[in-house]
Amino acid sequence: MEQYEPEHLSPAQLAAMRRSLTTGRGALTRRSMLRASGMGALALGGLGTLSACGIPPAKREGDAAAASDDHSAKEKQISFSNWTEYMDVSEDEKGRPTLEAFTKRTGIKVKYTEDINDNVEFFGKIKPQLAAGQNTGRDLVCVTDWLAARMIRLGWAQKLDPANLPHAFANLASQFRTPDWDPGRAYSYPWTGIPAVIAYNSKATGGRKVDSVTQLLDDPKLKGRVSFLSEMRDSVGMTLLDMGKDPGTFTDADFDAAIGRLQKGVDKKQIRRFTGNDYTADLSKGDLAACIGWAGDIIQLQADNPDIKFSIPAAGYITSSDNLLVPAKARHKTNAEKLIDYYYEPSVAAQLAAYINYVCPVDGVRDELAKIDESMAANTLILPDKEMASKSRAFRSLSSKEETAYEEKFAKLIGA
């Protein structure tokens, strides 16, 4: 029996959603970082209202409710929904070179729509059709890992055909191959990776490197000039790693220990505040000496301020992802799979990475990206080297009960 999310959000969950949409991931543009946290999907009635309204989820892939007739052979088209500024554009900003090249090669026309502003809003658009077992009008969507997980769990994504994905299967970077919500990538492929790392202003630190959460929490020279993120998964996940715990398998006791460690940082005023993306101005000015920050922000800050540095803790770092899925009842599944596979060709992936500046999940891109921009090819925030990639960790999927309890504890910690 499918387990639904609770119909009503706790005050802590509502607060987490508001933080994400106003100063956190949901407030950031495509060129500056992520978006809405996992609680966002529940804001519009969530999955809990499905049981309240008596609407069943689609059945698992392979059942008639989840599958659809594929019209790809006769209808050479795809409808692709994506985030804004998440696709390469021509210099005059009137064309999309990689999409146009795909159409020229295959004859498949792509209706490309930037209609995802955050996961919350987009889920509200497609939920009624998915719940009713209807076509959403979209053949391919790009959603953040927590929403991808829910769509797969509810049978609202179609299982992909490996025969149509030779490049994707061969070139998917190892750090993205086995998320706990889609082992082996049977239903999804990542569009980009989004790391949370340590950022610091070398001028504000007196030239000293900051490279661990222990240093952020305990170094007296940083007291009052440290910030953590108001996104629970990033701040707690980084703290768990520093404590020697795996964010992919931690227990309730581990979570409580991480919260306790952060609480000590608050009590002794080591931590100045918990922030959304508003840490960037303070870090650039030197009011903050060091923080947990998002890689996309750091790349942009470095373009204007050479004092901005980043480090990857020896203990590891947290990476989220945005993912491509084919919704249940989509009419052009094979065409969509061909487009996914196309973006896993290294030359194409390099063109995309050069424009959007996020972690590229495609192996074999470095030489192709160097032809476009050598500095980007050398930037490990875009193309992690083997050492950095080996330290990437994902925060495990949470049950509804866990999410409620964890958000309440985190809200108390940050005073939300």
Both tokens of residue 48? 């809990």
Helix, coil or strand: residue 156:
coil
pLDDT bracket for residue 85 (50, 70, 90): confident
Could you tell me what percent of the chain has a pLDDT over 70?
83
| Res 19: pLDDT | 55
Q: What is the pTM of this model?
A: 0.78
pLDDT bracket for residue 8 (50, 70, 90): low
Q: Is 54 exposed, middle or buried (0-12, 13-18, 19+ CB in 10 A)?
A: exposed
pLDDT bracket for residue 53 (50, 70, 90): very low
At 34, the amino acid letter reads L
pLDDT over 60 at 342, yes or no: yes
Same CATH fold assignment for domains 77-187+326-344 and 194-319+397-414: yes
Closest CA to 38 of 140, 183, 181, 136: 181
String of DSSP letters for 277-310: TTHHHHHHHTSS-EEEEEHHHHHHHHHH-TTEEE
| Res 296: pLDDT | 80
Average pLDDT value for the chain: 86
Domain 77-187+326-344 falls under CATH 3.40.190.10: yes
pLDDT over 60 at 225, yes or no: yes
pLDDT over 60 at 339, yes or no: yes
Q: Worst-scoring range by mean pLDDT, 97-101, 107-111, 119-123, 154-158?
A: 119-123
CB neighbours of residue 11 within 10 Å:
11
Mean pLDDT of 126-133: 94
Mean pLDDT of 172-183: 93
| Res 61: pLDDT | 42
String of DSSP letters for 207-230: T-----HHHHHH-GGGTT-EEEES
Check residues 415 and 261 and name the one with the higher pLDDT: 261
**Superfamily classification of domain 194-319+397-414:** Periplasmic binding protein-like II (3.40.190.10)
Residue extents of the structural domains in the chain: 77-187+326-344, 194-319+397-414
- 110 beta partners: 78
pLDDT bracket for residue 146 (50, 70, 90): confident
pLDDT bracket for residue 40 (50, 70, 90): very low
* DSSP symbol at 282: H
pLDDT tens digits, one per residue of 282-296? 999 999 999 999 888
Q: Worst-scoring range by mean pLDDT, 74-88, 120-134, 328-342?
A: 120-134
pLDDT bracket for residue 113 (50, 70, 90): very high
Distance CA 189, CA 185 (A): 6
pLDDT tens digits, one per residue of 348-403? 999 999 988 889 999 999 999 999 999 999 999 999 998 999 999 999 988 878 98
